[in-house]
Amino acid sequence: MNAVLEVRGVSKSFGGVVAAADLDVTVERGEIVGIIGANGAGKTTLMRAICGLLLAARGRVVLDGRDVTRLPAHRRARLGVGYMPEDRRLVPQLPVRDNILLPLWARGVADAEARLAEVLRFVPDIEPFLARPALRLSGGQQKLVALARALAAGERVLLLDEPFEGVAPALARRLAEILESLGHAGQRTILVSGSDYTHTAGLVDRLYAIERGRVEPAAPTGAG
Amino acid sequence: MTTTIAIVLDGLLYAAWLFLVAVGLTLVYGVMRILNVAHGSLYALGAYVAAWAVQLWFANRLPAAAGLLLLPLAALLVGVVAGTAIERGVLRFTYGRHELVLLLVTYALFLILEDLVKLVFGVDPCFAYQPYGLLGVVRIGRLPYSLYDLVLIGLAVVVGLSVWLWLEKTRSGRLLLAVIHDREMAMAMGIDVGRLFTVTFAAGATLAALGGALAAPRISVVPGIGVEVIVLAFAVVATGGLGSVPGAMIGSLVVGLVRAVAVHLLPQVELFVIYAVMAAVLAVRPQGLFARAEVRRI
Amino acid sequence: MRRDPVPAAIALLALLLLAGALVLPDWLRFLLLLAFAKGLAVLGVVTLMRGGLVSFGQGLYFGLGGYAAGMTGHFTGFSDVFGLLLLGIAVSVAVALVLGLVMARYREIFFAMLSLAFSMVFYGVLVRSEVLGSTDGSNLPQPTFLGYAPEAATGRVLLYLLTVLVVAVAAFLVHRWYRSLWGHLAEAARENEVRVEYLGASVFRVHYADYLLAAATAGAGGVLTAVAVGHVDPTLTYWTTSGEFVFVALVGGTGSVFAPFAGAVLLELVRTFAFAWLPYSWQMILGAVMLLVILFLPGGLWSLVAGREART
C-alpha cells in the first residue's frame, strides 16, 4: 500500500449531534484528494480529527502505515502534517517569516531557512512582505502565508481546510495554481476540502463527497 | 530632600520585591490563562526553604559569603520541584476549562499548600537574617542603606529584562507567543504545548519562590506571609495589566511608590492606598494600565 | 401547573429548626446560628453566581453589616437586634448602591478581582483605624429585643430563633427572586448576554440588582454574626472569609436556596471536628474537597459555567 493517510471509521459527535460517522478516507502518495460537502457536513471535523485537535470517539487514523490515533496533535504535526485552517490563524504580532518558521522551530528543524526558501519557490507572492507583521496583511495575503506555513510543516501530507472559501476569484485561481504546481512537483500529498466543486474539481485526482457526517467516494474526475 | 530620597528608595525597594513576585504571576496568566492564587504559597515555600537552608548553613559555620547563594538555589529547588508537581499533578487536568474554574482550582491548591507549609515547618517564626548583613551598608545622602536591599533592586531589573528578552527576542519566546495567541493552532504546528506549560509554570513558581527567598533575610518567616503577598501581587498585575511583563513593572513601581509616599507622609492609609490605586485603575481601565489589547484573531 | 413546593419546605424546615431550640445542645445551636449567618452571605454569592459572576469579596458586605452593628453598639450602646439588623442591611445596601455602579460593568476574573480589591480596601481601613478598633476590633453590648433585655442564656436562644426566621424569610424572598423575570434574566445573561440585550432587558440592571441583593443578605449575616459572637474584628471582611463563602457556594451549587445553608452547616461541623482531631489541616481539607468537586463533579455542583464552557 502506498497510502500516506488512511482514515478508518472515524466518528465524532458533539452533544448528541453527529459531526462525523464512520468516515473512511484514503490519500495515496503524491495525490491531491478533495473532500466536498456543504457547511456543517463534517469536513472540518475530519481535518481536525486527522490533526489530532479532536479525538475521534471511534476509528483510526493511520499515517504512512503508523497508527497515530492516540498520538497528540503536536506529535502528529512533527511527523510532517501541515494544517491550513479555514480561518488562517496566524500570530498577528509576528512577522510573516516567523509565522512560516514557527512549525519548523517547533520540531527543531536544523535548516529551517533552507526550507523557507523552498516554500517560497512555490509561494513567491509573499516574498516582498516577509518582514511585515502578519496583522498588516490583507486577508488574501494572510491566506497565502497560512498556505506557506502549512507547506513548511507538511512534508508528508497537507491538510487544507476550505482554502477557496470566501476568497476573491483572482486569489482562488492563484491558490489553485500553487496547488497544481505542488502536484506537478510530485512529492506533495494533499487533502483539500471545499463546499462545492468549482475550484476543486479541476485540481484533484479523486473526490469524496461528505454529507451529514458520512462520506461517499464521488465519481473520479480524472487527472486535473 | 532626605524624605524624598527615602521615599524613592523605599518605593523602589518595595517595587523590586513586588515585581519579582508579580512577574511570575503575570507570566503564568499570560501564557496559561491561569490566575494562580497558589503563587502566594510558592512565595512562602521559597521563604521557608531559604530560611531553613540558611539556618543550617550558618549553624554549621560554613563559609558565610556562599550563604548568599543559598537564596536563589532554594528558590530554584522550590520552583522546579513544587512548580512541576503542581502543574503535572493537578493543573494539567483542568486545561480548557473556564478561567474562573482555574482560579478556584488554584485557590484550592493555595489552601492545601498553606497547611502543608505549617505541617512541615511548624508555626513558629523562622529567621534567616545572616545574609542581610553580609554585604554591609552604604550611605545615600544622610541615610544608611543596606547594600543587600540595593542589590535586590538591581536583581529585579535583571530578572525583568531577562524575562522580557526571553519573550521578545528568543525562538522559544516566539513559540510561547504562538501558544498565547492560539493554543490549538500552536499544537497543530507541532509545538509541545504541554511541555511549554510545565516550563512556564515552573518558571513562574521559581520567580515566586525567589521573591520569598530574597525576602526571607529581611522578615520573620511566619505562616500567612503567602496570603499578604498574593493579594498585593494581584493588585500589581491588575493595575499594570494581566499577562503583561512591562505592565507588571509599571504596576510594581506605581504600587511601590504610592505605598512609600503613604508610609512616610500618611502612615494610616498604607494598606488601604494600594488597593485603592488598583480599584481606581480597574474602575477606569478594566484591562489595567498596560494590558495587551485583547489579541485580535486574524 | 404544579405548586411550587419550596415555600412549604422552607416553612417546614424553619418550624423544625425553631422547635430544635428546645432540644439542641448549646454548642450545636450556636454553631447552627453562625452557619446560618454565614449561609446568608453565601446566598448572596450564589445569587451572583447564577448570573455568572464570582465575588471574591463578599466579606466586604459581611464586614460592613458586622461593623455597622458593632460600632453602633460600641459607641452608642444601642443593642436592639432588629434595629441593628435594619441598620446593617441599610449600610451594606448603601455602599453597594455606589460600588455596584462600577461592579456591574465587570465580568469574570475582573469582577472577582475588583470585588476582592474593594473588600481589601475596607480591611485596610479597619486594620489601620484606631477608632474602629484596629486589628483587635471591639465588643458589642448584650442584645435586646424590642426593649426586652433577657439574661444572657435566654438572649442566645432568642437570637437563634430570630436567625432562623431571618434565614427563612431571606430564603423565601430569594427563591421568589430566582423564579421571577429577573432571576431568569440573570441565568440567561450567564449563558449569553447579547441575547438578553436583544430581549430588550439591561444586563447591567440585572447584575446591579443581584449585587444589591447579595449585599443585603451578606449585611444581615454580618449583623447576626457580630451580635451572636459579641465581637467584631477585621477578619470578618478578610479575603479568606470571602473565599470561604465562595467555597460553600461552589460545593453547595447554585441549584437551590437550601444549598448555601446546608453547605455552611456542613462546613462548620467539619471545621469543629477537624480542629479537634487534625490541627493545621482544616484548610487542607477545604482545599482537597474543593479540588475533588471541581475535578470530578463539574456538572453536579458547579452549574455556574456549564453553559459557558461548552461554548469556549
* Shortest Cα distance, chain C CAs vs residue B123, angstroms: 9
> DSSP string spanning C191-234?
H-HHHHHHTT--HHHHHHHHHHHHHHHHHHHHHHHHHHHTEE-G
Burial string for A131-152 (b: 16+ CB within 10 Å, else e) reads eebbeebeebbbbbbbbbbbbb
Asked whether residue B236 is assigned to any structural domain, the reply reads: no
In angstroms, the CA B173 to CA C126 distance is 44
Q: What is the pLDDT of residue B212?
A: 93
Positive or negative: CA dihedral B44, B47, B53, B58 = negative
At which residue does the C-alpha cell 502528529 appear?
A: A76
Domains, chain A: 3-217 (3.40.50.300)
Identify which of A190, A197, A195, A199 has the alpha carbon closest to the alpha carbon of residue A211: A195
Does residue B30 lie in a domain region?
A: yes
> In this structure, what DSSP letter does residue A53 have?
S
- C-alpha A95/C-alpha A127 separation (Å) is 12
Q: What is the mean pLDDT of residues B72-94?
A: 93
* Average pLDDT, integer, range B167-188: 89
Residues of B in contact with A78 (CB under 8 A): 190
Interchain CB distance below 8 Å, B100 and C110: no
Identity of the residue numbered B211:
G
Disruptive mutation site among A51, A71, A74, A143 for chain B (greatest number of B CBs within 10 Å): A74
CB-based contact (8 Å) between C128 and chain B?
A: yes
Taking the alpha carbons at both ends of chain C, their separation in whole angstroms is: 36
Beta-bridge partner residues of A61: A7
Q: Is C240 on the interface with B (CB under 8 A)?
A: yes
Pick the residue from chain B with its C-alpha nearest to A133.
Answer: B298
Residue B239 belongs to some domain of the structure: no
- Chain B and chain C share a number of CB contacts under 8 A equal to 127
Q: In terms of Cα–Cα distance, which of B187, B171, B196 is closest to A113? A: B171
- Beta-strand runs (E) in C138-182: 138-139
Which residue among B101, B242, B272 sits closest to C294, beta carbon to beta carbon? B101
Rounded CA-CA distance B135/C299 in Å is: 57
Cβ neighbours of A87 in B, within 8 Å: 297
Give the C-alpha separation, C83 to B174, whole Å: 62
Region of residue A64 (left: phi > 0; alpha: psi -120 to 50; beta: else): left
pLDDT mean over B209-221: 90
Does residue B34 lie in a domain region? yes
Q: Which three cell numbers stand for residue B184?
A: 490549538
3-class SS of residue A83 = strand
- What is the model's pLDDT at position A217? 66
Cell of A37: 460537502
Cα dihedral C275/C280/C281/C283 (nearest 10): 90
Of A22, A9, A4, A8, which Cα lies nearest the Cα of A212?
A: A22
Task: Give residue-wise pLDDT tens across range A85-137.
Answer: 888 889 988 999 999 999 999 888 888 888 899 889 888 888 898 899 988 88
Cell of C43: 446566598
Please answer whether residues C248 and C39 qualify as being in contact, where contact means their C-beta atoms are separated by less than 8 angstroms: yes
Residue segments in chain A with a per-residue pLDDT below the cut of 50? 221-224
Looking at residue C269, its pLDDT comes to: 86
Tell me: pLDDT of B28 over 80. yes
Q: Copy the grid coordinates of residue C8.
A: 412549604
**Cell numbers standing for residue A122:** 512555490
Distance CA C31, CA C268 (A): 7
Mean pLDDT, rounded, of chain C: 85
B111-143 burial, b if ≥16 CB within 10 A, otherwise e? bbbbbbbbeebeeeebebebbbeeeeeeeeeee
Domains and CATH numbers, chain C: 6-311 (1.10.3470)
In the numeric block, which cell numbers belong to residue C113? Answer: 478581582
Closest CA to C115 of C231, C297, C246: C246
Touching partners of C (3+ C-beta pairs < 8 Å): B
pLDDT in tens, B240-291: 888 888 889 988 999 899 989 988 888 777 767 877 787 777 777 767 776 6
Whether residue C16 lies within 8 A of chain B, CB to CB, comes out as no
**Inter-chain contact C109–B94, Cβ cutoff 8 Å?**
no
The candidate with the shortest Cα–Cα distance to A152, out of A189, A101, A221, is A101
Q: CA-nearest residue of chain B to C290?
A: B108
CB A125 within 8 A of CB A138: no
How far, in Å, CA of C278 to CA of B298, rounded?
A: 54
pLDDT on residue C304: 45
Given a cut of 50, the residues of chain C with pLDDT beneath it are: 299-300, 302-312
Please check whether residue B286 lies inside any domain of the structure: no
Strands A190-194 and A32-36: parallel
Residues of chain A in contact with residue B175, where contact means CB-CB under 8 angstroms, are 102, 105-106
Nearest CB to B98: which of C283, C295, C305?
A: C305
Instruction: Provide residues of B within 8 Å CB-CB of chain C.
Output: 35, 90, 93-94, 97-101, 103-105, 107-116, 118-119, 123, 227, 231, 234-235, 238, 242, 268-276, 278-279, 282-283, 286
CB count within 10 Å of CB B237 equals 33
- The region that residue B100 occupies, defined by phi over 0 for left and psi between -120 and 50 for alpha, beta otherwise, is alpha
C128: chain B residues, CB-CB within 8 Å: 268-272
Residue B185 contacts A, CB cutoff 8 Å: yes
**By the 8 A CB rule, do C226 and C159 touch?**
no
Per the DSSP assignment, residues forming a β-bridge with A3 are: A28
Distance CA A25, CA A49 (A): 12
What domain range includes position B70?
21-223
Measure the CA–CA gap between A104 and B111, rounded to whole angstroms. Answer: 42
For cell 457580630, what's the residue? Answer: C226
Determine contact, residues A30/A87, Cβ cutoff 8 Å: no
Any idea what the Cα angle at residue B139 is, between residues B138 and B142, rounded to 5°?
165
- C274 phi, psi to nearest 5 deg: -65, -40
pLDDT tens, C56-113? 889 999 999 999 999 998 888 888 889 899 999 999 999 999 889 888 888 777 788 7
Using only the alpha carbons of chain B, give its radius of gyration.
19
Q: From the CA of B298, how many Å to the nearest CA of chain A?
A: 6
Q: If you search the block for the grid coordinates 524613592, which residue do you land on?
A: B8
Does any domain span residue B173?
yes
Comparing CA positions, the residue from C50, C63, C44 lying closest to residue C239 is C63
Rounded Cα–Cα distance for residues A84 and A159 (Å):
6
Measuring CA to CA, which residue among C76, C75, C94, C97 is closest to residue C86? C94
Rounded to the nearest angstrom, the minimum Cα separation between B190 and chain C is 22
- Could you give the number of structural domains in chain B? 1
**Of C132, C120, C146, which Cα lies nearest the Cα of C60?**
C120
pLDDT at C96: 93
**pLDDT above 90 covers what percent of chain B?**
37
Distance CA B68, CA B46 (A): 14
Which residue in B177, B186, B297 is closest to A94 by CB distance?
Answer: B177
Separation between Cα atoms, residue B210 and residue B16, nearest integer Å? 12
Report yes or no: C253 and C300 within 8 Å, Cβ to Cβ. Answer: yes
Residue B224, classified by CB atoms within 10 Å of its CB into exposed (0-12), middle (13-18) or buried (19+), is middle
Chains that contact B by 3+ CB pairs under 8 Å?
A, C
Nearby residues of A164 by Cβ (< 8 Å), 6 or more positions away:
A172, A175, A176, A194, A198, A199, A200
Give how far B207 is from chain C: nearest CA, Å.
Answer: 22
Q: A223: which 3 cell numbers? A: 487527472
What is the SS3 assignment for B1? coil
Q: Cβ contact (<8 Å) for A105 and B181?
A: no
Whether the CA torsion A138, A141, A145, A147 is positive or negative: it is positive
* Residue C170 · residue C220 · CB < 8 Å: yes
B163 within domain boundaries: yes
Chain B residue whose CA is closest to C54: B100
Rounded to the nearest 5°, which phi and psi values hold at C117? -60, -45
Q: What is the mean pLDDT of residues B201-214?
A: 95
List CB contacts of A64: < 8 A, sequence separation 6 or more: A4, A79, A156
Q: Which amino acid is at B45?
A: L
pLDDT value for C124: 82
Could you tell me the sign of the dihedral formed by the alpha carbons of C247, C251, C255, C260, in that order? negative
Q: Which residue in chain B is spatially nearest to C121 when comparing CA positions?
A: B272
C-beta atoms surrounding A73 within 10 Å: 27
Report CB contact under 8 Å: C108, B97: no
Judge whether A103 and A82 are in contact, CB under 8 Å: yes
pLDDT of B27: 92
H or E stretch at A23? strand A17-28
Give me the residue label for grid cell 453547605: C263
As a whole number of angstroms, the distance between CA B58 and CA B46 comes to 18
Interface probe with A: pick from B189, B196, B198, B244, most Cβ of A within 10 Å: B189
Phi and psi at residue A165, in whole multiples of 5°?
-70, 125
C-alpha cell at B157: 531589573
CB of B95 less than 8 A from some CB of A: no
